[in-house]
């Protein structure tokens, strides 16, 4: 059986203009064998969800440093659900206070990564979570 590559969309919602971290994570995920699409800066939640649908991704990873995560992250989730993509693994990272991380995780984000997270830990988390999901789907 041939294992399907994990398809990841990395996106920068809102007006945040700093994308070095997002590009670094995208590169590390590619190096781990994932197919990665990076949307670039200044994406609306609608644009991110549409790209996720068009690219048929397994994972959407959001990166934000502007402080607008409580406004933008839930809107991205809502747009994914509208498009029938509520099953997509949703992760994020950036400058997000712990209380906000807990709120976002209870609202459908699988995992949020803060400053100082090792990029290999992000890749390992995505691989492990996707392996669990695929095993669950195969058993169904």
Does residue 2 fall inside a structural domain? Answer: no
Q: What is the CATH number of the domain that holds 72?
A: 3.40.50.280
Contacts of 94 (CB under 8 A, 6+ apart): 16, 21, 62, 63, 64, 65, 69, 114, 115
With a cut of 80, say whether residue 3 has pLDDT above it: no
Model pTM score: 0.96
Does residue 1 fall inside a structural domain? Answer: no
Tally of domains in the chain: 1
pLDDT tens-place string over residues 71-103: 999 999 999 999 999 999 999 999 999 999 999
Per-residue model confidence (pLDDT) at position 1: 52
With a cut of 80, say whether residue 115 has pLDDT above it: yes
Does residue 33 fall inside a structural domain? Answer: yes
Range of the domain at 21: 7-139
Does residue 16 fall inside a structural domain? Answer: yes
């Amino acid at each position: 059986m041939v294992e399907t590559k994990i398809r990841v969309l990395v996106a920068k919602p809102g007006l945040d203009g700093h994308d070095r971290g997002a590009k670094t994570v995208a590169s590390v995920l590619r190096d781990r064998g994932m197919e990665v699409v990076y949307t670039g800066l200044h994406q609306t939640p609608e644009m991110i969800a549409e790209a996720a649908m068009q690219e048929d991704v397994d994972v959407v990873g959001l990166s934000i440093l502007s402080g607008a995560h409580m406004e933008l992250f839930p809107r991205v989730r809502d747009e994914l659900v509208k498009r029938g993509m509520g099953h997509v693994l949703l992760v994020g990272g950036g400058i997000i206070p712990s209380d906000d991380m807990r709120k976002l995780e209870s609202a459908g984000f699988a995992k949020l990564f803060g400053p100082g997270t090792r990029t290999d830990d992000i890749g390992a988390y995505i691989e492990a979570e996707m392996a669990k999901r695929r095993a669950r789907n195969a058993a169904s």
